[in-house]
Structure 1
Protein backbone atom coordinates (compact mmCIF):
# COMPACT_ATOMS: atom_id res chain seq x y z
CA UNK A 1 0.00 0.00 0.00
CA UNK A 2 1.60 3.31 -1.03
CA UNK A 3 2.08 5.94 1.63
CA UNK A 4 2.33 9.67 1.27
CA UNK A 5 5.80 11.19 1.47
CA UNK A 6 6.76 12.33 4.96
CA UNK A 7 6.74 16.00 3.98
CA UNK A 8 3.19 15.70 2.62
CA UNK A 9 1.98 14.02 5.80
CA UNK A 10 3.73 16.64 7.91
CA UNK A 11 2.14 19.41 5.88
CA UNK A 12 -1.26 17.75 6.27
CA UNK A 13 -0.77 17.51 10.04
CA UNK A 14 0.24 21.16 10.24
CA UNK A 15 -2.72 22.29 8.15
CA UNK A 16 -5.07 20.19 10.28
CA UNK A 17 -3.56 21.65 13.44
CA UNK A 18 -3.84 25.16 12.02
CA UNK A 19 -7.51 24.61 11.14
CA UNK A 20 -8.22 23.14 14.58
CA UNK A 21 -6.45 26.04 16.29
CA UNK A 22 -8.41 28.63 14.31
CA UNK A 23 -11.72 26.88 14.92
CA UNK A 24 -11.08 26.44 18.64
CA UNK A 25 -10.03 30.08 18.99
CA UNK A 26 -13.28 31.19 17.37
CA UNK A 27 -15.46 28.74 19.32
CA UNK A 28 -13.83 29.69 22.62
CA UNK A 29 -14.41 33.38 21.88
CA UNK A 30 -18.06 32.88 20.87
CA UNK A 31 -18.87 30.79 23.95
CA UNK A 32 -17.08 33.35 26.16
CA UNK A 33 -19.22 36.12 24.65
CA UNK A 34 -22.35 33.99 25.11
CA UNK A 35 -21.46 33.37 28.74
CA UNK A 36 -20.93 37.09 29.32
CA UNK A 37 -24.31 37.89 27.76
CA UNK A 38 -25.89 35.16 29.89
CA UNK A 39 -24.29 36.64 33.02
CA UNK A 40 -25.58 40.10 32.08
CA UNK A 41 -29.12 38.78 31.80
CA UNK A 42 -28.78 36.78 35.02
CA UNK A 43 -27.30 39.47 37.23
CA UNK A 44 -28.39 42.76 35.62
CA UNK A 45 -31.38 42.49 33.34
CA UNK A 46 -33.90 39.77 34.22
CA UNK A 47 -32.45 37.42 36.79
CA UNK A 48 -32.94 34.37 34.55
CA UNK A 49 -29.91 32.08 34.43
CA UNK A 50 -30.71 30.15 31.23
CA UNK A 51 -27.82 31.82 29.35
CA UNK A 52 -25.36 30.83 32.05
CA UNK A 53 -26.72 27.27 32.19
CA UNK A 54 -26.34 26.93 28.41
CA UNK A 55 -23.08 28.77 27.77
CA UNK A 56 -21.29 27.85 31.01
CA UNK A 57 -20.72 24.19 30.10
CA UNK A 58 -20.19 25.02 26.43
CA UNK A 59 -17.52 27.53 27.33
CA UNK A 60 -15.90 25.09 29.75
CA UNK A 61 -15.53 22.48 27.01
CA UNK A 62 -14.36 25.11 24.49
CA UNK A 63 -11.80 26.45 26.97
CA UNK A 64 -10.34 23.00 27.60
CA UNK A 65 -10.33 22.29 23.86
CA UNK A 66 -8.56 25.56 23.10
CA UNK A 67 -5.90 24.92 25.75
CA UNK A 68 -5.29 21.41 24.38
CA UNK A 69 -4.99 22.65 20.78
CA UNK A 70 -2.80 25.59 21.86
CA UNK A 71 -0.46 23.20 23.68
CA UNK A 72 -0.30 21.00 20.58
CA UNK A 73 0.40 24.05 18.40
CA UNK A 74 3.09 25.22 20.81
CA UNK A 75 4.84 21.87 20.48
CA UNK A 76 4.26 21.09 16.79
CA UNK A 77 4.84 24.62 15.47
CA UNK A 78 7.86 25.13 17.75
CA UNK A 79 6.70 28.35 19.35
CA UNK A 80 9.04 30.03 21.80
CA UNK A 81 8.27 30.22 25.51
CA UNK A 82 6.59 33.62 25.40
CA UNK A 83 4.50 32.86 22.34
CA UNK A 84 3.22 29.66 23.93
CA UNK A 85 2.44 31.34 27.24
CA UNK A 86 0.69 34.25 25.54
CA UNK A 87 -1.27 31.78 23.41
CA UNK A 88 -2.49 30.05 26.57
CA UNK A 89 -3.14 33.33 28.41
CA UNK A 90 -5.22 34.54 25.45
CA UNK A 91 -7.98 32.20 26.61
CA UNK A 92 -8.58 34.30 29.73
CA UNK A 93 -9.85 37.67 28.42
CA UNK A 94 -12.99 37.63 26.28
CA UNK A 95 -12.15 37.34 22.56
CA UNK A 96 -8.44 37.10 23.39
CA UNK A 97 -8.10 33.84 21.48
CA UNK A 98 -9.24 35.46 18.25
CA UNK A 99 -6.87 38.40 18.76
CA UNK A 100 -3.97 36.04 19.43
CA UNK A 101 -4.84 33.89 16.39
CA UNK A 102 -4.92 36.94 14.11
CA UNK A 103 -1.64 38.37 15.43
CA UNK A 104 0.08 34.98 15.32
CA UNK A 105 -1.11 34.41 11.75
CA UNK A 106 0.08 37.87 10.68
CA UNK A 107 3.53 37.17 12.15
CA UNK A 108 3.77 33.76 10.47
CA UNK A 109 3.66 31.81 13.72
CA UNK A 110 0.85 29.56 12.57
CA UNK A 111 2.46 28.54 9.28
CA UNK A 112 6.20 27.96 9.66
CA UNK A 113 6.55 26.96 6.00
CA UNK A 114 5.16 30.30 4.82
CA UNK A 115 7.37 32.12 7.31
CA UNK A 116 10.47 30.29 6.04
CA UNK A 117 9.49 31.09 2.45
CA UNK A 118 9.09 34.78 3.32
CA UNK A 119 12.46 34.81 5.09
CA UNK A 120 14.15 33.25 2.05
CA UNK A 121 12.64 35.75 -0.37
CA UNK A 122 13.49 38.76 1.80
Structure 2
Protein backbone atom coordinates (compact mmCIF):
# COMPACT_ATOMS: atom_id res chain seq x y z
CA UNK A 1 0.00 0.00 0.00
CA UNK A 2 1.52 3.30 -1.07
CA UNK A 3 0.73 6.53 0.67
CA UNK A 4 0.42 9.80 -1.17
CA UNK A 5 2.57 12.67 0.06
CA UNK A 6 0.56 15.38 1.80
CA UNK A 7 -0.49 18.41 -0.21
CA UNK A 8 2.00 21.24 -0.40
CA UNK A 9 1.17 24.89 0.21
CA UNK A 10 -0.12 25.38 -3.35
CA UNK A 11 -2.17 22.20 -3.10
CA UNK A 12 -3.73 23.33 0.18
CA UNK A 13 -4.54 26.73 -1.32
CA UNK A 14 -6.17 25.04 -4.32
CA UNK A 15 -8.20 22.76 -2.03
CA UNK A 16 -9.39 25.76 0.00
CA UNK A 17 -10.32 27.72 -3.12
CA UNK A 18 -12.20 24.70 -4.54
CA UNK A 19 -14.20 24.27 -1.34
CA UNK A 20 -15.05 27.98 -1.09
CA UNK A 21 -16.13 28.03 -4.74
CA UNK A 22 -18.41 25.02 -4.16
CA UNK A 23 -19.89 26.49 -0.97
CA UNK A 24 -20.70 29.80 -2.64
CA UNK A 25 -22.28 27.89 -5.55
CA UNK A 26 -24.48 26.14 -2.99
CA UNK A 27 -25.48 29.46 -1.45
CA UNK A 28 -26.26 30.88 -4.87
CA UNK A 29 -28.40 27.86 -5.80
CA UNK A 30 -30.36 28.18 -2.54
CA UNK A 31 -30.72 31.90 -3.19
CA UNK A 32 -32.04 31.24 -6.71
CA UNK A 33 -34.57 28.76 -5.29
CA UNK A 34 -35.76 31.36 -2.78
CA UNK A 35 -35.98 34.06 -5.43
CA UNK A 36 -37.43 32.21 -8.42
CA UNK A 37 -39.28 29.18 -7.01
CA UNK A 38 -40.62 30.12 -3.60
CA UNK A 39 -40.50 33.86 -4.45
CA UNK A 40 -39.76 34.79 -0.85
CA UNK A 41 -36.61 36.90 -1.10
CA UNK A 42 -33.86 37.88 -3.48
CA UNK A 43 -31.33 38.45 -0.69
CA UNK A 44 -29.61 35.09 -1.29
CA UNK A 45 -28.98 35.87 -4.96
CA UNK A 46 -27.83 39.37 -4.09
CA UNK A 47 -25.36 38.16 -1.46
CA UNK A 48 -24.17 34.84 -2.88
CA UNK A 49 -24.04 36.15 -6.43
CA UNK A 50 -21.37 38.60 -5.34
CA UNK A 51 -19.57 36.10 -3.12
CA UNK A 52 -19.61 33.45 -5.80
CA UNK A 53 -18.31 35.88 -8.40
CA UNK A 54 -15.31 36.63 -6.18
CA UNK A 55 -14.83 32.95 -5.32
CA UNK A 56 -14.99 31.98 -9.00
CA UNK A 57 -12.34 34.52 -9.99
CA UNK A 58 -10.17 33.57 -7.03
CA UNK A 59 -10.48 29.88 -7.89
CA UNK A 60 -9.40 30.48 -11.48
CA UNK A 61 -6.34 32.45 -10.37
CA UNK A 62 -5.41 29.87 -7.73
CA UNK A 63 -5.92 26.98 -10.18
CA UNK A 64 -3.56 28.57 -12.71
CA UNK A 65 -0.94 29.36 -10.05
CA UNK A 66 -1.21 25.88 -8.49
CA UNK A 67 -1.01 24.29 -11.92
CA UNK A 68 2.20 26.16 -12.68
CA UNK A 69 3.81 25.62 -9.27
CA UNK A 70 2.83 21.95 -9.02
CA UNK A 71 3.69 21.33 -12.70
CA UNK A 72 0.34 19.85 -13.62
CA UNK A 73 -0.01 18.37 -17.09
CA UNK A 74 -2.14 20.46 -19.43
CA UNK A 75 -5.12 18.11 -19.08
CA UNK A 76 -5.16 18.63 -15.29
CA UNK A 77 -5.11 22.40 -15.61
CA UNK A 78 -7.95 22.30 -18.15
CA UNK A 79 -10.01 19.98 -15.91
CA UNK A 80 -9.46 22.30 -12.95
CA UNK A 81 -10.54 25.35 -14.94
CA UNK A 82 -13.55 23.65 -16.55
CA UNK A 83 -14.67 22.37 -13.13
CA UNK A 84 -15.50 25.94 -12.14
CA UNK A 85 -18.31 26.19 -14.68
CA UNK A 86 -20.87 23.52 -13.63
CA UNK A 87 -22.26 23.84 -10.11
CA UNK A 88 -20.39 22.07 -7.31
CA UNK A 89 -17.76 20.32 -9.45
CA UNK A 90 -14.65 21.97 -8.01
CA UNK A 91 -14.79 20.02 -4.77
CA UNK A 92 -14.96 16.52 -6.35
CA UNK A 93 -12.18 17.51 -8.75
CA UNK A 94 -10.04 18.63 -5.81
CA UNK A 95 -10.64 15.26 -4.11
CA UNK A 96 -9.71 13.44 -7.31
CA UNK A 97 -6.53 15.52 -7.71
CA UNK A 98 -5.62 14.76 -4.08
CA UNK A 99 -6.03 11.01 -4.69
CA UNK A 100 -3.83 11.21 -7.81
CA UNK A 101 -1.13 13.10 -5.91
CA UNK A 102 -1.52 16.23 -8.03
CA UNK A 103 -1.72 18.51 -4.98
CA UNK A 104 1.65 17.42 -3.59
CA UNK A 105 4.91 19.19 -4.26
CA UNK A 106 7.00 17.35 -6.81
Aligned ranges for residues 83-94 of structure 1 at < 5 Å? 83-94=76-87
* Higher normalized contact order (CA 8 Å, seq sep 6+, divided by chain length): 2
> Which structure: larger Rg?
1
TM-score normalised per structure 2: 0.89
Counterparts of 1:83 and 1:37 in 2: how far apart (Å)?
30
- Residue by residue over 1:30-68, the C-alpha shift from the partner in whole angstroms, topping out at 9 and shown as x without a partner, is 000100000011000124200001100000000001000
Q: Which residue of 2 aligns with 1:69?
A: 62
Counterparts of 1:19 and 1:79 in 2: how far apart (Å)?
15
Counterparts of 2:72 and 2:26 in 1: how far apart (Å)?
28
- Residue by residue over 1:2-45, the C-alpha shift from the partner in whole angstroms, topping out at 9 and shown as x without a partner, is xxxxxxxxxxxx72212211111100000001000000110001
Is contact 2:8-2:105 (8 Å) kept?
A: no
Match of 1:41 among 31, 34, 43: 34
Displaced runs of 4 or more, over 6 A: none
Counterparts of 1:59 and 1:112 in 2: how far apart (Å)?
28
Higher mean displacement: 90-99 or 32-41 = 90-99
Considering fraction of residues, name the structure with more helix: 1
Is contact 2:8-2:103 (8 Å) kept?
A: no
Secondary structure in 1 aligned to 2:55? Answer: helix
